[in-house]
Amino acid sequence: MSNQAEPGARGQFGIGEVLAQLRPEFPDISTSKIRFLEAEGLIEPERTRSGYRKFGVADVQRLRHILTLQRDSYLPLRVIKERLSGSGGAGAGEAAAPANGASTGDGDGLSRRQLLDEAPISDAELTELEDYGLIRRVGRTYGTEALAVARAVVALRQYGVQARHLRAVKAAADREATLVEQVVAPQLRQRGPGARDAALRTAWQIADLTLRLHATLVESALADAGLASASLRLGSYEPMPLIAESGEPQGLRTASGR
């Protein structure tokens, strides 16, 4: 983006006004976060002669797009920067088209090659995720949930978390789904009009409550382990790579350090 502002196109908002616009959708957004994205070259706001940042509508759209990709797609900043460069700086309403004509999952789903490119993961890694039951193929295609899982695993990998470590997460999710199925089973057996729709609503309401309970229990367990934080809560942090001095992810270790 050029620093040569055009009248009415740029320099409309101070950083405080940008925070006010984005905070309802991204509660964890902060001045330091915006400065970090600028330092990483993802945004380039105009500067006044006194050095204050000024953001135009396009800058705010670009920020919203970046934050959405981080939150919903678990994409690292490097990948986001590459996508923005490849799409000419697409904003929130101008998301870059999927590579190689990949479907977004709204039609016939994703082919294996499309999923590998969109995640992005290797063929061996995808096979491993399938072996552990984290990703399932329906026929010859994958659904949008497969892409979400793959991207989450890619994000976790920078902390040294591998697919094998996530078997317990998958087992817990299966048990929670079974609980929901058991609760709504009587509704599903009813034959009255609207019975199935009512069962679906009940199922998702219970699922939402169990997810909230799960998050609260995890936070409580972290607090018991001495990892409580008043400023950090599940879903309110920015994943950052944890790199050891050797340059490799630290990985998971047992209490003995092995």
Model confidence pLDDT, tens digit, residues 192-213: 888 888 888 888 888 888 888 9
Whether residue 256 lies inside any domain: the answer is no
Both 20 and 72 in a single domain? yes
Q: How far apart are CA 251 and CA 258, in angstroms?
A: 10
* Geometric angle at alpha carbon 187, from 184 and 190, rounded to 5°: 155
The enclosing H or E element of 53 equals: strand 53-54
Domain count, the chain: 3
Q: How far apart are CA 68 and CA 133, in angstroms?
A: 27
The average pLDDT across 230-251 equals 49
Domain boundary among 130, 161, 192: 161
Domain boundary among 48, 78, 96: 96
Higher pLDDT, 50 or 65: 65
Whether residue 236 lies inside any domain: the answer is no
Q: State yes or no: pLDDT of 146 exceeds 80.
A: yes
The pLDDT of residue 18 is 93
What is the domain extent for residue 30? 15-96
Burial of 171 (C-beta count, 10 Å sphere; 0-12/13-18/19+)? exposed
The pLDDT of residue 227 is 83
* φ and ψ of 243, to 5 deg: -115, 130
Whether residue 251 lies inside any domain: the answer is no
Whether residue 129 lies inside any domain: the answer is yes
Q: What is the pTM of this model?
A: 0.50
Q: How far apart are CA 31 and CA 174, in angstroms?
A: 40
pLDDT digits (tens, 9 = 90+) for 68-110: 888 877 777 888 888 888 755 545 444 444 443 344 444 457 8
Whether residue 125 lies inside any domain: the answer is yes
Q: How far apart are CA 159 and CA 239, in angstroms?
A: 9
Both 22 and 91 in a single domain? yes
